[in-house]
Amino acid sequence: MRFLIFLVSSFCFALEAIAIDPQEANETKKLILPGESFLVENRPAFILLPEVSLRKTPQPWVFYAPTLAGYPDGHEKWMHQQFLDAGVAVAGIDVGEAYGNPASRKLFDAFFDQMTDKRGLSKRPCLLGRSRGGLWVTSWACDHPERFAGLAGIYPVFDFKTYPGLAKAAAAYEMAPEELEKQIVNTNPIARMSVLGKAKLPVFIIHGDEDKVVPLKENSQTFLETYQSTGAGDSVTLLVVKGQGHNFWEGFFRCQALIDFVIERAKTGALGPK
């Protein structure tokens, strides 16, 4: 039975890992909830806004990743609806299978500027990274820790050596694997996490203890230990789910503690600088 569950989980993740078709890069995306699709730097982007009576100025929001062709997906619909019902917007941009490379971070900068300068979203959103979305948001957060009010993760990847693996990450970073290995302390998000720890960025992570695709130990557990080494261990909540792997278990997406954390941090960020 465990082997069968692993096969199903692996198959689901394989579907998740399909890269966006380059021909679709300049097309707007389909949304799981009412909102707006648009382009930023010719990349698909989206925003889900609360109903008008719940909106604020500046608008609290969640910066979500990975915004690939099918994400956020139906498994997350209820979770994102909770954010909207609490007056928190959700937005993201599809940077492709970049794994946190410099080009993707520049696209994040352009998206962030448009959302905050032209659309009235707050200057300090809460980040939310699901799976490889963890690589997306943390690589960027390490560049600008002062920009964010919090970080949440659902079985997030922090170490690109575990997923997608050094060879695929190297291709995204336009390096040979050997070259990327030499620069690992400056490129791999998990090696840079002390920046977020020193900034004491609040974090909430939920991760299964049987995750074979994004191993708990090398990713979320190491993240926690890095925070602890900087004296910021109290800023991280790591919720380890027994018996769960990298799958679509409903508890990952209906975790009330994570939802409450995201809402609280997004609203705190909208109040202004720390």
Q: 196 lies in a domain?
A: yes
- How many CB atoms lie under 10 A from the CB of residue 132? 25
pLDDT of 109: 98
Helix 77-85 × helix 256-269 angle, to 10° = 40
pLDDT of 5: 43
Q: 225 lies in a domain?
A: yes
- Return mean pLDDT, the chain: 92
Q: 179 lies in a domain?
A: no
Q: 244 lies in a domain?
A: yes
Q: 170 lies in a domain?
A: no
Contact 152, 129 (CB under 8 A): yes
Domain of residue 121: give its range: 2-160+187-269
pLDDT of 224: 98
Cα separation, 31 vs 85, in Å, equals 17
Q: For residues 166-191, give the mean pLDDT.
A: 97
pLDDT of 28: 82
Q: Which tokens sit at 112?
A: 């962030």
Residue 151 has phi, psi (to 5 degrees) of -140, 125
Q: Which tokens sit at 216?
A: 């708990």
Lowest-confidence segment of 15-24, 185-194, 251-260 by average pLDDT = 15-24
pLDDT of 148: 98
Cα separation, 133 vs 126, in Å, equals 13
pLDDT of 272: 83
pLDDT of 202: 98
pLDDT band at 51 (very low <50, low <70, confident <90, very high): very high
Q: 226 lies in a domain?
A: yes
Work out how many domains the chain is built from and give that number: 1
pTM for the model stands at 0.90
Closest to 135 in 3D by CA, of 214, 82, 189, 201: 189
pLDDT band at 274 (very low <50, low <70, confident <90, very high): low
Q: 165 lies in a domain?
A: no
pLDDT band at 24 (very low <50, low <70, confident <90, very high): very low
Contact 234, 224 (CB under 8 A): no
Give the pLDDT confidence of 154-163 residue by residue, as tens digits.
999 999 999 9
Q: Report the percent of the chain where pLDDT is more than 70.
A: 90
Domain containing residue 21: CATH number = 3.40.50.1820
Q: 168 lies in a domain?
A: no
